[in-house]
Amino acid sequence: MEEYNRAREERWLDTATAGIRFGPDRRAVSEELAAHLEDKTADLQRIFPDMTESEVWDRTLKEMGDPRALGKELAKIHRPWLGYLWRASQVALAAALLVLVLVGINVIGGSSTLGGWYGRESSRRDSQDGIILLAAEEETVELEGCTLSLDGAVLWSGPVGERSMELCLRAETLRFWEKGGCQFEHITATDDLGSHYASEYEWSMKAADFRRHIYVYLDGWGPFYQNYRVQVRGIAPEAEWIRLEYQLLGRSFSLNVDLTKEAEA
Protein backbone atom coordinates (compact mmCIF):
# COMPACT_ATOMS: atom_id res chain seq x y z
CA MET A 1 0.00 0.00 0.00
CA GLU A 2 2.84 2.37 0.83
CA GLU A 3 4.40 1.88 -2.60
CA TYR A 4 1.03 2.50 -4.22
CA ASN A 5 0.60 5.78 -2.33
CA ARG A 6 4.13 6.84 -3.21
CA ALA A 7 3.40 6.18 -6.87
CA ARG A 8 0.25 8.33 -6.63
CA GLU A 9 2.31 11.10 -5.02
CA GLU A 10 4.92 10.97 -7.79
CA ARG A 11 2.26 11.06 -10.52
CA TRP A 12 0.63 14.06 -8.86
CA LEU A 13 3.98 15.86 -8.60
CA ASP A 14 4.92 15.05 -12.19
CA THR A 15 1.60 16.41 -13.45
CA ALA A 16 1.83 19.57 -11.32
CA THR A 17 5.38 20.40 -12.47
CA ALA A 18 5.21 19.23 -16.08
CA GLY A 19 4.78 22.80 -17.36
CA ILE A 20 8.02 24.03 -15.78
CA ARG A 21 10.55 23.61 -18.56
CA PHE A 22 13.71 24.67 -16.73
CA GLY A 23 15.04 21.54 -15.03
CA PRO A 24 16.50 23.04 -11.82
CA ASP A 25 13.28 25.01 -11.22
CA ARG A 26 11.16 21.92 -11.84
CA ARG A 27 13.13 19.86 -9.34
CA ALA A 28 13.05 22.61 -6.71
CA VAL A 29 9.28 23.09 -7.05
CA SER A 30 8.71 19.32 -6.97
CA GLU A 31 10.68 19.04 -3.73
CA GLU A 32 8.72 21.91 -2.19
CA LEU A 33 5.36 20.40 -3.17
CA ALA A 34 6.45 16.99 -1.87
CA ALA A 35 7.24 18.58 1.48
CA HIS A 36 3.76 20.14 1.55
CA LEU A 37 2.20 16.76 0.79
CA GLU A 38 4.15 15.11 3.59
CA ASP A 39 3.16 17.83 6.07
CA LYS A 40 -0.50 17.67 5.13
CA THR A 41 -0.51 13.88 5.33
CA ALA A 42 1.05 13.99 8.80
CA ASP A 43 -1.52 16.56 9.95
CA LEU A 44 -4.44 14.46 8.71
CA GLN A 45 -3.09 11.32 10.37
CA ARG A 46 -2.78 13.19 13.65
CA ILE A 47 -6.26 14.75 13.42
CA PHE A 48 -8.01 11.62 12.11
CA PRO A 49 -6.19 8.64 13.61
CA ASP A 50 -8.91 6.23 12.49
CA MET A 51 -8.44 6.97 8.78
CA THR A 52 -6.56 4.43 6.72
CA GLU A 53 -3.39 5.40 4.92
CA SER A 54 -5.17 5.24 1.57
CA GLU A 55 -7.96 7.51 2.84
CA VAL A 56 -5.43 9.97 4.20
CA TRP A 57 -3.69 10.16 0.83
CA ASP A 58 -7.00 10.53 -1.01
CA ARG A 59 -7.91 13.51 1.16
CA THR A 60 -4.41 15.00 0.96
CA LEU A 61 -4.36 14.99 -2.83
CA LYS A 62 -7.91 16.30 -2.98
CA GLU A 63 -7.11 19.24 -0.69
CA MET A 64 -3.95 20.02 -2.64
CA GLY A 65 -6.11 20.58 -5.71
CA ASP A 66 -6.10 19.61 -9.36
CA PRO A 67 -2.44 19.11 -10.37
CA ARG A 68 -3.13 20.23 -13.97
CA ALA A 69 -4.66 23.53 -12.90
CA LEU A 70 -1.85 24.06 -10.41
CA GLY A 71 0.70 23.22 -13.09
CA LYS A 72 -0.66 25.93 -15.42
CA GLU A 73 -0.23 28.56 -12.72
CA LEU A 74 3.26 27.36 -11.88
CA ALA A 75 4.25 27.46 -15.55
CA LYS A 76 3.25 31.14 -15.71
CA ILE A 77 5.51 31.95 -12.78
CA HIS A 78 8.52 29.83 -13.70
CA ARG A 79 9.38 31.05 -17.17
CA PRO A 80 12.19 29.02 -18.75
CA TRP A 81 14.11 32.07 -19.98
CA LEU A 82 14.47 33.32 -16.40
CA GLY A 83 16.18 30.09 -15.44
CA TYR A 84 18.41 30.12 -18.49
CA LEU A 85 19.29 33.77 -17.85
CA TRP A 86 20.23 32.94 -14.27
CA ARG A 87 22.38 30.03 -15.41
CA ALA A 88 24.04 32.20 -18.06
CA SER A 89 24.84 34.85 -15.46
CA GLN A 90 26.45 32.19 -13.27
CA VAL A 91 28.59 31.00 -16.17
CA ALA A 92 29.56 34.58 -17.05
CA LEU A 93 30.54 35.31 -13.45
CA ALA A 94 32.64 32.16 -13.26
CA ALA A 95 34.34 33.06 -16.54
CA ALA A 96 35.05 36.60 -15.33
CA LEU A 97 36.59 35.33 -12.11
CA LEU A 98 38.70 32.86 -14.06
CA VAL A 99 39.96 35.64 -16.33
CA LEU A 100 40.86 37.76 -13.31
CA VAL A 101 42.78 34.89 -11.76
CA LEU A 102 44.63 34.17 -15.00
CA VAL A 103 45.45 37.83 -15.49
CA GLY A 104 46.76 38.04 -11.95
CA ILE A 105 48.93 34.97 -12.51
CA ASN A 106 50.29 36.32 -15.80
CA VAL A 107 51.32 39.68 -14.38
CA ILE A 108 52.44 38.59 -10.93
CA GLY A 109 56.03 38.55 -12.11
CA GLY A 110 55.85 42.08 -13.54
CA SER A 111 58.20 44.74 -12.22
CA SER A 112 56.72 47.21 -9.76
CA THR A 113 59.94 49.09 -8.98
CA LEU A 114 62.80 50.44 -11.02
CA GLY A 115 65.47 48.73 -8.92
CA GLY A 116 65.07 45.56 -10.96
CA TRP A 117 66.20 47.37 -14.12
CA TYR A 118 69.44 48.94 -12.94
CA GLY A 119 71.62 47.25 -10.36
CA ARG A 120 72.73 49.45 -7.51
CA GLU A 121 76.34 48.27 -7.72
CA SER A 122 76.67 49.28 -11.38
CA SER A 123 75.09 52.65 -10.70
CA ARG A 124 77.94 53.37 -8.27
CA ARG A 125 80.68 52.24 -10.67
CA ASP A 126 79.61 54.29 -13.69
CA SER A 127 78.50 57.89 -13.26
CA GLN A 128 76.49 57.64 -16.47
CA ASP A 129 74.30 54.91 -14.95
CA GLY A 130 71.20 55.84 -13.05
CA ILE A 131 71.19 56.79 -9.40
CA ILE A 132 68.45 54.95 -7.59
CA LEU A 133 66.58 57.41 -5.42
CA LEU A 134 65.15 56.62 -2.05
CA ALA A 135 61.82 54.81 -2.53
CA ALA A 136 59.12 57.26 -1.54
CA GLU A 137 56.76 54.71 -0.01
CA GLU A 138 55.35 57.36 2.29
CA GLU A 139 54.33 59.41 -0.74
CA THR A 140 50.83 58.09 -1.34
CA VAL A 141 47.55 59.79 -2.13
CA GLU A 142 43.94 58.61 -2.12
CA LEU A 143 41.85 59.52 -5.13
CA GLU A 144 38.20 58.38 -5.08
CA GLY A 145 38.95 54.90 -3.76
CA CYS A 146 42.23 54.55 -5.66
CA THR A 147 45.61 54.59 -3.88
CA LEU A 148 48.42 56.18 -5.89
CA SER A 149 52.01 55.67 -4.78
CA LEU A 150 55.58 56.05 -6.01
CA ASP A 151 57.38 52.70 -5.82
CA GLY A 152 60.82 53.93 -6.86
CA ALA A 153 62.78 56.27 -9.11
CA VAL A 154 66.03 56.36 -11.09
CA LEU A 155 67.86 59.60 -11.94
CA TRP A 156 70.33 60.00 -14.84
CA SER A 157 72.76 62.71 -15.83
CA GLY A 158 72.62 63.63 -19.50
CA PRO A 159 75.50 64.58 -21.81
CA VAL A 160 74.67 68.31 -21.66
CA GLY A 161 74.27 68.52 -17.91
CA GLU A 162 70.51 68.19 -17.73
CA ARG A 163 69.08 65.12 -16.07
CA SER A 164 66.19 62.77 -16.67
CA MET A 165 64.23 60.57 -14.30
CA GLU A 166 62.06 57.49 -14.55
CA LEU A 167 59.76 56.41 -11.76
CA CYS A 168 57.05 53.86 -11.15
CA LEU A 169 53.58 55.19 -10.37
CA ARG A 170 51.29 52.51 -8.96
CA ALA A 171 47.49 52.76 -8.90
CA GLU A 172 45.68 50.28 -6.62
CA THR A 173 41.92 49.92 -6.19
CA LEU A 174 39.34 47.23 -5.53
CA ARG A 175 37.12 48.99 -8.07
CA PHE A 176 39.25 47.60 -10.89
CA TRP A 177 36.95 48.93 -13.61
CA GLU A 178 37.78 52.55 -12.70
CA LYS A 179 41.51 52.67 -11.83
CA GLY A 180 40.89 55.95 -10.05
CA GLY A 181 39.33 57.54 -13.13
CA CYS A 182 42.65 59.22 -14.04
CA GLN A 183 44.08 60.01 -17.45
CA PHE A 184 47.75 59.93 -16.59
CA GLU A 185 48.86 61.54 -19.86
CA HIS A 186 47.75 64.80 -18.22
CA ILE A 187 50.36 64.59 -15.44
CA THR A 188 52.58 67.69 -15.29
CA ALA A 189 55.41 68.60 -12.93
CA THR A 190 57.20 71.54 -11.34
CA ASP A 191 60.51 71.67 -9.51
CA ASP A 192 61.93 73.83 -6.73
CA LEU A 193 63.38 76.20 -9.35
CA GLY A 194 59.91 76.97 -10.67
CA SER A 195 60.38 75.09 -13.95
CA HIS A 196 57.31 73.63 -15.65
CA TYR A 197 57.34 70.16 -17.23
CA ALA A 198 54.75 69.76 -19.96
CA SER A 199 52.38 66.79 -19.80
CA GLU A 200 52.39 64.17 -22.51
CA TYR A 201 49.00 65.42 -23.64
CA GLU A 202 50.24 69.02 -23.79
CA TRP A 203 53.32 68.43 -25.89
CA SER A 204 51.65 65.89 -28.18
CA MET A 205 48.64 68.13 -28.92
CA LYS A 206 50.67 71.29 -29.47
CA ALA A 207 53.33 69.45 -31.47
CA ALA A 208 55.91 71.70 -29.83
CA ASP A 209 59.44 70.89 -28.77
CA PHE A 210 59.21 71.29 -25.02
CA ARG A 211 62.61 71.30 -23.37
CA ARG A 212 61.11 69.88 -20.20
CA HIS A 213 58.34 67.34 -20.58
CA ILE A 214 56.81 64.11 -19.24
CA TYR A 215 56.06 60.81 -20.93
CA VAL A 216 53.80 58.16 -19.32
CA TYR A 217 53.09 54.59 -20.38
CA LEU A 218 51.49 51.48 -18.89
CA ASP A 219 54.12 49.03 -17.64
CA GLY A 220 52.12 46.26 -15.94
CA TRP A 221 48.69 45.52 -14.60
CA GLY A 222 46.57 43.07 -12.67
CA PRO A 223 42.99 42.76 -11.40
CA PHE A 224 43.44 45.43 -8.74
CA TYR A 225 46.42 47.53 -9.82
CA GLN A 226 48.22 49.21 -12.70
CA ASN A 227 51.88 50.23 -12.91
CA TYR A 228 52.92 53.23 -14.99
CA ARG A 229 56.41 54.35 -16.06
CA VAL A 230 56.73 58.11 -15.80
CA GLN A 231 59.69 59.70 -17.60
CA VAL A 232 60.60 63.26 -16.63
CA ARG A 233 63.06 64.90 -19.04
CA GLY A 234 65.06 68.12 -18.92
CA ILE A 235 65.72 68.32 -15.17
CA ALA A 236 68.20 71.05 -14.27
CA PRO A 237 71.31 69.94 -12.31
CA GLU A 238 70.43 72.42 -9.56
CA ALA A 239 66.91 71.06 -8.98
CA GLU A 240 66.48 69.35 -5.61
CA TRP A 241 62.91 68.08 -5.86
CA ILE A 242 60.12 67.60 -8.37
CA ARG A 243 56.41 67.57 -7.72
CA LEU A 244 54.18 65.51 -10.01
CA GLU A 245 50.81 67.21 -10.40
CA TYR A 246 47.49 66.12 -11.84
CA GLN A 247 44.28 68.11 -12.20
CA LEU A 248 41.47 67.13 -14.55
CA LEU A 249 37.67 66.92 -14.33
CA GLY A 250 37.59 67.68 -10.62
CA ARG A 251 40.24 65.10 -9.75
CA SER A 252 43.63 66.23 -8.51
CA PHE A 253 46.69 64.96 -6.68
CA SER A 254 50.38 65.74 -6.24
CA LEU A 255 53.37 63.54 -5.38
CA ASN A 256 56.85 64.74 -4.42
CA VAL A 257 60.18 63.19 -5.45
CA ASP A 258 63.34 64.21 -3.59
CA LEU A 259 66.26 64.29 -6.05
CA THR A 260 68.88 64.45 -3.30
CA LYS A 261 68.11 61.28 -1.34
CA GLU A 262 69.85 58.26 -2.78
CA ALA A 263 68.77 54.75 -1.83
CA GLU A 264 71.15 52.75 0.32
CA ALA A 265 73.15 50.02 -1.38
Say whether both 165 and 36 belong to one domain. no
Cα–Cα distance measured from residue 98 to residue 96, given in angstroms and rounded to the nearest whole number: 5
Assess if residue 90 is contained within a domain.
Answer: no
d(CA 39, CA 44): 9
Residue 109 within any structural domain of the chain: no
pLDDT of 121: 33
pTM, full prediction? 0.51
What's the confidence (pLDDT) of residue 192? Answer: 94
Q: Around 78, how many Cα atoms within 13 Å sit in the side-chain half-sphere?
A: 22
pLDDT tens string, the chain, 265 residues long: the values are: 566 667 777 888 878 787 777 677 777 878 888 887 888 888 888 888 888 888 887 888 777 778 788 777 777 666 655 556 666 777 778 777 776 665 554 443 344 334 333 333 333 334 346 677 755 555 678 877 788 888 778 888 876 778 899 888 888 887 666 555 567 888 899 999 999 999 988 877 776 667 888 988 888 877 788 888 999 999 998 999 999 998 877 778 888 888 888 766 5
Q: How many domains does the chain have?
A: 2
Q: In what order do the strands lie in the sheet with 196-197?
A: 196-197, 188-191, 241-248, 251-258
56 and 142: one domain?
no
**Is 132 in the same domain as 195?**
yes
Please tell me the predicted confidence (pLDDT) of residue 189: 93
pLDDT at 190 (0 to 100): 94
Q: Evaluate whether residue 88 is within a structural domain.
A: no
Residue 71 lies in a domain: yes
Q: Which of 55, 77, 99 corresponds to the end of one domain?
A: 77
Q: Are residues 176 and 248 in the same domain?
A: yes
- Domain of residue 167, residue span: 114-258
- CATH code for the domain of 231: 2.60.40
pLDDT at residue 240, as a whole number: 92
C-alpha–C-alpha distance, residues 229 and 219, integer Å? 6
